[in-house]
Structure 1
Amino acid sequence: MARSEHGPPRLYRVWLTGAGVTALGTQILVFGLVWHAALIGPGAAAAVLTAQTVPRVLLTLHGGALSDRVGALPVMVAANAVLCALAAVGALAMSAADPGPGAMVATALALGTVDAVNIPASASVPRLLVPSEAMGRALAARQIVLQGAVLCGPPMGGAAITFLGLPATYGAGALGYLVMLAVLRLVGSRTRFPASADAGPGLNRQVGEGLSTVFGTPLLRAVVLLTGAFAMFAIPFSSLLVPVVSAAHGWGAAATGAAAGAFGVGMAGPTALVLWRGTARRAGPAAALGMVTAGAGVALAAAAPGPAAFCLVSSLVGLGTGVFSTHVGPLFMAACPSGAVGRAHAVLTLAQWLPLLVANPVIGVLARAYPVSVLLLLWGAGASAAGAAALGTRAFRTAVLPGGTRRGEQEPEAG
């Protein structure tokens, strides 16, 4: 792995700090919302989670088109202002009364709807602030920050509820969005966020143009398809397969937590390495090999004789996941046309969410009919096969990131 001499610029680091604070506040808020719903019953908790997810799936493509149409900065300012107001009203409402499940579902729907607009705009910021040669390290830093928020948010939310009460979780969310508004004002005063797309066509037409751009560009198409396969076969491992396997073997909550932690440790290794030294010179093959490695780990988990061995293979899955995610993201970013960054990222985001809507219930159904070892072998084989297929495509074999080659070495064409 060739060391990159270029790090993310200071303005990007300022924005990333704000994004981390906002993500942490969001995790605390969502934890409080779901926890409160769970007190009513599991059905209410499931309804809240579904209400947050459905608008994201339905509206993300239009959110990306809106970002390209009017510019990422205005979209993020408007979205964070609305989210801040929602969270503040929620905090006041929770202090005055105990809202019923209908109010919580409505809140989750509102959060999911605004997220569908905000997420593609936020994903396009690295392209606007970071030079291409520093993109790998910039996205690795973003991944570490967002994963840190995911890990720290629930325990901080639990502490907030214990010591300050449920309204504090909503207050944390409002504070996080307020911080992002301040950061966006600072960033906006020091750089220019262009509105790239023509404002003439309607959003539906722009959505269609974004889909045509992504699936008409070999490397973008390959990344989206591989990301969808990764979401189907690799992402459910940590969130669903680990607890299903532990429960089937009677290993207990401690072993489940240890396996999930081992996955996180494995994923953190390549992420930290990319942050320090930059991406591999040939990022396409590296991403595909990362997926093959993750699939091999999932399949090997079928033969794990005990919790210790299961933790070991879980770390291998995390290692492959880290290699995949730290290389496929910069590849996609580098190949995005400047006028369609928001729409392209909306397609990529949808490619991550849609397979999960299928994978999770399918795993639940199959787990009742077959041994967990069969599930692990099937999902591991699927991930490895998709990674091997990517290695066979020209788009991945020839994809090289700017800044990922050694000096004096000519980069081949990416597509």
Structure 2
Amino acid sequence: MPVVSDAARPAHRDPGVLRWLSAYTSSAIGDSVYYIALSWAAVQAGTPAQAGLVTAVGAVPRALLMLGGGVVADRYGPRRVVLGSSAVRCLLVVTAAGLLLATRPGLWALGAVAVLFGVVDAVFLPAAGALPARITGRDQLARVQGMRGLATRLATVLGGPLGGLGIAFGGTAGAFGLAALLIGVSLPVLWAVRVGPLPPDERQPRRAVLGELKDGLRHLAHDPVLRPLMLAVALADLGFVGPMNLGLTLLSQERGWGSSGMGWVLAGFGTGAGAASLLLTLRGRVPRAGLVLALAELGGSVAIAGLAQAGSVAAATCVALIVGLLCGLGGALSGALTLAQAGPAFAGRVTAVSTLVGFGVAPLTFPLVGWAAGRWGTGPVFAACAALSAVGALVALCAARVRRAELPG
């Protein structure tokens, strides 16, 4: 395996992995602050509906360009691509801060920033997802995915307060500046992370972008584990993203829980997801990972449906904790199995496929989720989304190669 880390050392004690984790955490917090600043600036410049459109428009280039971003990550190496795309992301956010300081940009300018950020994200996300496979051994991938999940939870917890502080002390421009600083801080830390070259038997011939994309899709389609696993991940993401994002806001409004009630529910989800990530970080390996993944996602789907039936904030918080625990465990295991099965030469392209729905396509379903909830209520919408997610879990459960899949030990 082409890594420079000490293979005998667990990932959570490996200096190289810890440097990567520090860079990833700083960048993730910066992303969270950026989205808060963008939302706030859009609300100030237009109506809530227009603000929602501005924040969602960045998903369009991610959906259209993500597969090409996976080719770029594999062709030039994920570390180099993460460094370059992070620098561009930092520059874009600095530009947004400058626009706010110099003038009052309209929705079109903010939308342009969101679209450009989404374009760069289409390259950044596959590379960021593929990088763990190049900095540690295959037997440490579950632990690294757990560490990544902890960083994501930390970014969610800290991003809101930091974004609010940035706006309070420096206005929206200050919040954008803080986001740029956090993304920028990740660059020198990531620069210190070293990866080795691919071994000769893993290297692929350089071809046109479309040819390399076809090679990646062919590799995925012919792999008996990756093919059903990617279908399962896509269905699970489609069923999960709507209810656990826009759906929670609509549920809180429908039940009269208010923003504080929604905050408690989100805290329950974050606690459960963080617990799942901590478990993987400390344990490192889960026996019968494919079966555990499928059962966890199936249980999480049932919990998503139950969330809309909770009669109080306390009950919803407890159910959300279960959703976070089960879906967090399933998501981390699917990420580890994907990287282990794809191999380093195809990690970027396969990661692009696995993240395409969750980061690119699923956010585009928010208008449909909102319309359906307004017509039929949140209960049927949560149930329908949960059923879709459950179908994904059943795909993994019924695919013998996925069900029997093990993480390297």
The two structures share one fold, judged by TM-score above 0.5: yes
SS in 2 for 1:395: helix
Partner deviation per Cα, 1:184-240 (whole Å, 9 max, x = no partner): 32224xx33559765642112211221121122121112211111111222333213
- List, as ranges, runs of 4+ consecutive aligned residues in structure 1 with deviation greater than 4 Å: 193-199
Equivalent position to 1:168, from 146, 157, 174? 174
Q: Post-superposition shift, 1:348?
A: 0.7
Q: Is the 8 A contact 2:40 2:172 kept in 1?
A: no
The CA distance in 1 between the partners of 2:277 and 2:399, in whole Å, is 25
Q: Does 1:123 align with 2:103?
A: no
The CA distance in 2 between the partners of 1:256 and 1:11, in whole Å, is 38
Q: Does 1:149 align with 2:155?
A: yes
Distance 1:26 1:386, change over 3 A: closer
The CA distance in 2 between the partners of 1:345 and 1:216, in whole Å, is 16
SS in 2 for 1:304: coil
Equivalent position to 2:260, from 246, 254, 262? 254
The CA distance in 1 between the partners of 2:398 and 2:271, in whole Å, is 30
Q: What amino acid is aligned across from residue 210 of structure 1 in structure 2?
A: G
Partner deviation per Cα, 1:299-335 (whole Å, 9 max, x = no partner): 3335433333222222222221122112111111100
Q: Is the 8 A contact 1:18 1:180 kept in 2?
A: yes
Q: Post-superposition shift, 1:43?
A: 4.1
Q: Does 1:24 align with 2:40?
A: no
The CA distance in 2 between the partners of 1:345 and 1:69, in whole Å, is 14
Q: Does 1:79 align with 2:79?
A: no
Partner deviation per Cα, 1:275-294 (whole Å, 9 max, x = no partner): 11123211001110111111
Q: CA RMSD in A?
A: 2.2
The CA distance in 2 between the partners of 1:87 and 1:307, in whole Å, is 36
Match of 2:380 in 1: 374
Q: Does 1:273 align with 2:279?
A: yes
The CA distance in 1 between the partners of 2:119 and 2:387, in whole Å, is 35
Q: Does 1:6 align with 2:10?
A: yes
Matches within 5 A, 1:208-287: 208-287=214-293
Q: Post-superposition shift, 1:165?
A: 2.5
Equivalent position to 2:196, from 192, 199, 203? 192
Q: Is the 8 A contact 1:73 1:193 kept in 2?
A: no
Q: Does 1:182 align with 2:188?
A: yes
SS in 2 for 1:279: coil
Q: What amino acid is aligned across from residue 140 of structure 1 in structure 2?
A: G
Q: Which runs of 5+ in 1 are unaligned?
A: 404-415
Q: What amino acid is aligned across from residue 20 of structure 2 in structure 1?
A: W
The CA distance in 2 between the partners of 1:88 and 1:124, in whole Å, is 27
Distance 1:244 1:29, change over 3 A: closer
Q: What amino acid is aligned across from residue 196 of structure 2 in structure 1?
A: R
Aligned residues: 398
The CA distance in 1 between the partners of 2:197 and 2:171, in whole Å, is 40
SS in 1 for 2:285: coil
Equivalent position to 1:40, from 45, 69, 79? 45
- The alignment-based identity, stated in percent, is 28
Partner deviation per Cα, 1:83-105 (whole Å, 9 max, x = no partner): 22223333333222222222212
Q: What amino acid is aligned across from residue 30 of structure 2 in structure 1?
A: G
Match of 1:351 in 2: 357
Equivalent position to 1:66, from 69, 72, 76? 72
Q: What amino acid is aligned across from residue 246 of structure 2 in structure 1?
A: L
The CA distance in 2 between the partners of 1:160 and 1:358, in whole Å, is 28
The CA distance in 2 between the partners of 1:77 and 1:123, in whole Å, is 13
SS in 2 for 1:54: helix
Q: What amino acid is aligned across from residue 333 of structure 1 in structure 2?
A: L
The CA distance in 2 between the partners of 1:336 and 1:371, in whole Å, is 41
The CA distance in 2 between the partners of 1:99 and 1:290, in whole Å, is 45
With the length of structure 2 as denominator, give the TM-score of the two structures.
0.90
Q: Post-superposition shift, 1:147?
A: 2.4
SS in 2 for 1:98: coil
Match of 1:96 in 2: 102
Q: Does 1:310 align with 2:316?
A: yes
Q: Is the 8 A contact 2:221 2:227 kept in 1?
A: yes
Q: Is the 8 A contact 1:334 1:401 kept in 2?
A: yes
Distance 1:314 1:185, change over 3 A: closer
Distance 1:74 1:194, change over 3 A: farther
Distance 1:127 1:112, change over 3 A: same
